[in-house]
Structure 1
Amino acid sequence: MTIAEKQQQLIEELSLFQDWTERYEYVIGLGKHLAPMDEAAKNPDHLIKGCQSQVWLDAKSEDGKVRYFADSDSLITKGMIALFVKVLDDETPDQILTADMSFIDQTGLKEHLAPTRANALNLMATQMKQRALAFASTQH
């Protein structure tokens, strides 16, 4: 499944919920299903700066694909980073770098977030692309 197909699937899943609180419950559920992040990786180097909550993001390259590991001290923020992990995990650096991350706007989630949390979504997407860029430069 391509990144665009995963994004479309997420948009469709979220559109099943009429009520935005149900959408957030779904997103929080995604966060609860994130693979556990190694406690040692929850350090300042992996902290996404500028987020209202603490959000950690780590990435590893396995067989030419980027594997993401994330966690947060906030359920909703953990769910938000889980959206990006669901879409970008196990893809090549080049696929991640060319991915259109505006799909998050189509979910309707940003409209019900405080501006600082909505800004955090942009920071998360940027950080994930920066991690992929680091792996892309080592592969060429």
Structure 2
Amino acid sequence: MAQDEFNELAETFDFLDDWEDRYRHVIELGREMPEMEEALKVPANKVNGCASQVWLYPNIENGLFDFYGESDAMIVRGLIAVLHTLYAGRPLAEVPGLDAQAALKRLGLDEHLSSQRSNGLRAMVERIRLVATEAQGI
């Protein structure tokens, strides 16, 4: 399921002609995400290494990985939504080994994000990997 959603997102990005359209699409994805409960916006869920404020909270059920995410910046909220399409619904054991960099390269994000945003995106991916690894007791 998760792979299908990400492939669909990649196809949408292929269809969009320029980065401005893709940028707007990322922001729209962020707008469509459900709000994260205020009670989850605590220091333990905050992602360090992001210029914006970012919170990620795992939701692991029946061996499948999912998470809630939030940011105070719309483009970052959209990047969280992109990561959600990549990771949500995957078996927990797959999450730490998933090559997020290669997947995100399919979208062309590596070429168009500022170094600050790229660093924040890497920090979010690392947090997701860490949480999944810890949840497995590894």
TM-score between both structures, scaled by the size of structure 2: 0.91
In structure 2, the partner of 1:109 is 109
Q: CA deviation digits over 1:86-109, x for unaligned, max 9? A: 121122211212212121122112
SS state at 1:137 partner: coil
Q: Which moved more, 1:46-55 or 1:100-109?
A: 100-109
- The sequence identity of aligned pairs, in percent, is 31
Shift of 1:130: 1.1
Considering only aligned residues, what root-mean-square deviation do their CA atoms show, in Å? 1.6
Q: CA deviation digits over 1:62-94, x for unaligned, max 9? A: 122122000000000000011011121122211
SS state at 2:55 partner: strand
Greater fraction strand = 1
- Tell me if the contact between 2:2 and 2:89 (Cα under 8 Å) persists in the aligned partners: no
Shift of 1:10: 2.0
Shift of 1:137: 1.6
In structure 2, the partner of 1:29 is 28
Q: Which moved more, 1:19-28 or 1:30-39?
A: 30-39
Say if 1:6 and 1:99 are closer, same or farther in 2 by CA, change over 3 A: farther
In structure 1, the partner of 2:40 is 41
In structure 2, stretches of 5+ residues that fail to align are: none
Give distance in 2, aligned partners of 1:59 and 1:51.
Answer: 18
In structure 2, the partner of 1:120 is 120
* Runs (4+) off by over 6 Å: none
* Aligned residues between the structures: 137
In structure 1, stretches of 5+ residues that fail to align are: none
1:136 counterpart letter in structure 2: Q
SS state at 2:77 partner: helix
SS state at 1:84 partner: helix
